[in-house]
Amino acid sequence: MVDHRHFDIAIVGQGIAGTLMAHFLESYGKRVLVIDNGFQGSSSMVAAGIVNPVTGRNFVRSWRIHEFLPFAKDVYDTINAKLNIDCYTIANIIRALDTIEDENNWLARTQDDLVGQFMCTQADISEFEGKINKPLALGELHQTFRVHFAEILKAYKQYLQNKSSYLEDRFDYSKLVILDQGFTYEDYTFTELVFCEGYQTIHNPFFPKIGMAPSKGEVLIVKIPNANFRKMYKDKVFFVHQYDDIYWVGSGYDWDISSEAPTEKAFKTLSDEVARVLKVPYEIMEHKAAIRPTMHGRRPVFKVHQEISNMYLFNGLGTKGGSIGPFAAAQFARYIVHKDLQDLVLS
Ligand SMILES: Cc1cc2nc3c(=O)[nH]c(=O)nc-3n(C[C@H](O)[C@H](O)[C@H](O)COP(=O)(O)OP(=O)(O)OC[C@H]3O[C@@H](n4cnc5c(N)ncnc54)[C@H](O)[C@@H]3O)c2cc1C
């Protein structure tokens, strides 16, 4: 008889990291239990999911984006088929070039094949004409898309619930019983355990000091009637279409994580920016905040517990869960299944 409370692997945390980890471990035939506290203000639930290969004021190519981007698309396509959803929307990014220096930097980068391959020769800003206060110049990036994190998480949760593989609860570390070969937690038993807790890993007693430097980001949800912006627009902040007339506008960085709540200061910065950019009427519908699992080293982290067999941590997707997440989760899931360090090529 199958023991329905026994799983090969338990995952704590169902943000995009835990979801992708579950997806890959299942692809190896593993029976996976996911435990998540259902926190609606997690980084994954608040993020825009933008996959942007060229970032910063100097327009540099994101770390290993030439590998991560096509890999991520394939993975999201597989999840589309598995869950019958739409994981991402392809949309170019229009970049405001506010100064002569920005414009010169942009032009210089178009000559660099590694970066220039993502830059359009000419920006088509027709959909923004008359609706934004134009900066000095504009550039356009292609091969960019936005991942629908919230939809993926919701659909994956439902999929796991349908097979009784989901526990909605805060994982209580003190209730974990460590056996010779595996673990028990309440009524469940499992052989391996992976923590994917985002910034909340700072409370995890099994993996203290992993080098996390969490950063808070704040977002406005804005209604812009009849704007029809389908490309993403990036000036000081991003404007990203969500559905109907609703747009995501964000987000800054704050290293004070003493509260998860939105702040008046960020509201003012974001609302001033919306007022500066838009020439058309709009309405601010919502203000949200979340804390990103950013690392001192700005790289994802995978840890194997030194004393407790079969206990792991996957975290540190930072500002780029949408692009780095699939590749990193695939590598680390392969290690968990095969225990072969040569498989680990993410560094
Ligand atoms: C404002 C903002 C904008 C962003 N924009 C983008 C973007 O455009 N593109 C991009 O790629 N990335 C973006 N990011 C970053 C992205 O959100 C992260 O890289 C990614 O979502 C991190 O996922 P995660 O699963 O590691 O963590 P989380 O999303 O934080 O998920 C962790 C989950 O584990 C749960 N959990 C934690 N501890 C426990 C416990 N003890 N028991 C049970 N459950 C637990 C949490 O509640 C949560 O559900 C943005 C982030 C923010 C805040």
What does the pLDDT read at residue 320? 95
What does the pLDDT read at residue 340? 76
Most distant CA atoms of the chain, gap in Å: 71
Write out the H or E segment, with its range, that includes residue 268. Answer: helix 264-277
DSSP 8-class letter at 318: T
- Which of these, 102, 120, 134, lies nearest to 233 by C-alpha position? 134
Residue 100, φ and ψ in degrees, nearest 5? -60, -40
DSSP 8-class letter at 136: S
Both tokens of 303, joined, read: 């840890």
Whose Cα sits closest to atom 45 in ligand 1? Answer: 13
Question: What is the whole-number distance in angstroms between the Cα of residue 309 and the centre of ligand 1?
Answer: 26
Question: What is the whole-number distance in angstroms between the Cα of residue 346 and the centre of ligand 1?
Answer: 20
Residue 84 inside a domain? The answer is: no
What does the pLDDT read at residue 343? 52
For residue 318, give its domain range. 6-46+150-211+297-343
The answer to whether 300 and 314 have CB atoms below 8 angstroms apart is yes
For the chain, list the strands marked E by DSSP: 6-12, 32-36, 50-51, 54-55, 60-61, 88-90, 93-97, 137-141, 145-147, 166-168, 176-179, 182-185, 188-195, 215-223, 232-234, 238-243, 246-250, 283-292, 301-304, 311-315
Residues 178 and 220 in one domain: no
Residue 278 inside a domain? The answer is: yes
Average pLDDT over the chain, rounded to whole? 94
Residue 327 inside a domain? The answer is: yes
Residues 36 and 101 in one domain: no
Residue 76 inside a domain? The answer is: no
Residue 335 inside a domain? The answer is: yes
| SS3 at position 129 | coil
CATH number at residue 231: 3.30.9.10
Residue 201 inside a domain? The answer is: yes
Residues 180 and 232 in one domain: no
CA angle 237, 274, 228 (to 5 degrees): 90
* Pairwise CA distance, residues 198 & 180, whole Å: 28
Which residues of the chain are under the pLDDT cut of 50? 347
Residues 172 and 265 in one domain: no
Question: What is the whole-number distance in angstroms between the Cα of residue 10 and the centre of ligand 1?
Answer: 18
Q: Which of 292, 309, 327 is the last residue of a domain?
A: 292
- Our mutation pick for probing the ligand 1 site, out of 11, 23, 34, 42, counting the most ligand atoms within 8 A of Cβ, is 42
How many residues does the structure list for the chain?
347
What does the pLDDT read at residue 218? 97
Q: For 138-155, how does the pLDDT look when each residue is reduced to its tens digit (9 = 90+)?
A: 999 999 999 999 999 999
Question: What is the whole-number distance in angstroms between the Cα of residue 299 and the centre of ligand 1?
Answer: 15
Q: Which atom of ligand 1 is nearest to the CA of 240?
A: 8
* Pairwise CA distance, residues 1 & 162, whole Å: 20
| Count of domains observed in the chain | 2
Question: What is the whole-number distance in angstroms between the Cα of residue 162 and the centre of ligand 1?
Answer: 24
- Our mutation pick for probing the ligand 1 site, out of 319, 320, 327, 332, counting the most ligand atoms within 8 A of Cβ, is 319
CATH number at residue 172: 3.50.50.60
Residue 96, φ and ψ in degrees, nearest 5? -75, 135
What does the pLDDT read at residue 176? 98
Q: Does 319 contact ligand 1 (Cβ within 6 A)?
A: yes
Residues 97 and 184 in one domain: no
Cis peptide preceding 42, ω within 30 of 0 = no
Residue 73 inside a domain? The answer is: no
Q: Does 47 contact ligand 1 (Cβ within 6 A)?
A: yes
* Pairwise CA distance, residues 274 & 74, whole Å: 34
Residues 242 and 130 in one domain: yes
Question: What is the whole-number distance in angstroms between the Cα of residue 317 and the centre of ligand 1?
Answer: 8
Residues 204 and 221 in one domain: no
Rg (CA), the chain: 21
Residues 286 and 221 in one domain: yes
Residues 122 and 219 in one domain: yes
Both tokens of 183, joined, read: 């673990």
- Our mutation pick for probing the ligand 1 site, out of 88, 172, 200, counting the most ligand atoms within 8 A of Cβ, is 200
Q: Does 48 contact ligand 1 (Cβ within 6 A)?
A: yes
- Which of these, 252, 41, 242, 22, lies nearest to 146 by C-alpha position? 242
Q: Which of 273, 292, 311 is the last residue of a domain?
A: 292
Task: Answer positive or negative: Cα dihedral of 203, 206, 207, 209.
Answer: positive
Q: Which of 292, 308, 325 is the last residue of a domain?
A: 292
Q: Which atom of ligand 1 is nearest to the CA of 314?
A: 26
The answer to whether 235 and 98 have CB atoms below 8 angstroms apart is yes
Residues 207 and 219 in one domain: no
Residues 270 and 328 in one domain: no
Residues 220 and 139 in one domain: yes
Residue 75 inside a domain? The answer is: no
